[in-house]
């Protein structure tokens, strides 16, 4: 837990030093279906993104996130992921569609046991600005895989939440 706090602090510090960059801190409620034979599990997704490159209406950067799904139940998925992010900002509409490719470490637990392996996700979503620095993450969908498991283990998630954008 201390390592997570240190990483989060370092990311925020680097965000404050990056001139012209757009930083967002987000928290979302996430539901996940790990494979066709499991029930839905739920929990929070939290993270921070930093869009440092801007090309007209398109920006690119990095995203670091953690997912803590399943609570104390028999099926759990906890992940620490990071990767690249691309977003579009059409200034005539208060929306921001985005796409990401992220990877990292995933810990899963089933009734049969638990394991920690490499995890990756491809995701996309749309944020809606309703206050100058506050967005509603209307919907985010991800599809991914955890290595070392059979071919039937491809988590799919659906999230909604809030994004606070720093100046």
* Residue range 64-79, pLDDT digits in tens: 999 999 987 788 999 9
Higher pLDDT, 17 or 56: 56
pLDDT at 87: 97
List the one residue out of 164, 85, 77, 152 whose CA is nearest residue 119: 77
Is residue 28 very low, low, confident or very high in pLDDT (cuts 50, 70, 90)?
very high
* CATH 2.40.160.20 is the classification of domain 2-166: yes
**Does residue 7 or residue 82 have the better pLDDT?**
82
Q: Which pLDDT band holds residue 16 (cuts at 50, 70, 90)?
A: very low
| Residue ranges per structural domain of the chain | 2-166
């Amino acid at each position: 837990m201390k390592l997570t706090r240190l990483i989060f602090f370092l990311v925020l510090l680097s965000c404050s030093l990056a001139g012209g960059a757009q930083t967002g801190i987000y928290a979302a409620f996430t539901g996940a279906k790990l494979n066709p034979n499991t029930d839905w599990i739920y929990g929070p997704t939290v993270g921070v993104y930093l869009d440092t490159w801007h090309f007209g209406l398109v920006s690119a950067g990095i995203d670091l996130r953690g997912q803590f799904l399943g609570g104390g139940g028999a099926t759990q998925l906890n992940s620490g992921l990071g990767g690249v992010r691309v977003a579009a900002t059409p200034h005539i509409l208060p929306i921001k569609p985005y796409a990401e490719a992220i990877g990292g470490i995933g810990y899963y637990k089933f009734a049969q046991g638990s394991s920690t392996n490499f995890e990756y996700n491809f995701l996309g979503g749309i944020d809606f600005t309703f206050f100058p620095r506050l967005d509603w993450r209307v919907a985010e969908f991800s599809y991914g895989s955890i290595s070392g498991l059979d071919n039937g283990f491809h988590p799919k998630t659906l999230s909604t939440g809030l994004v606070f954008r720093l100046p």
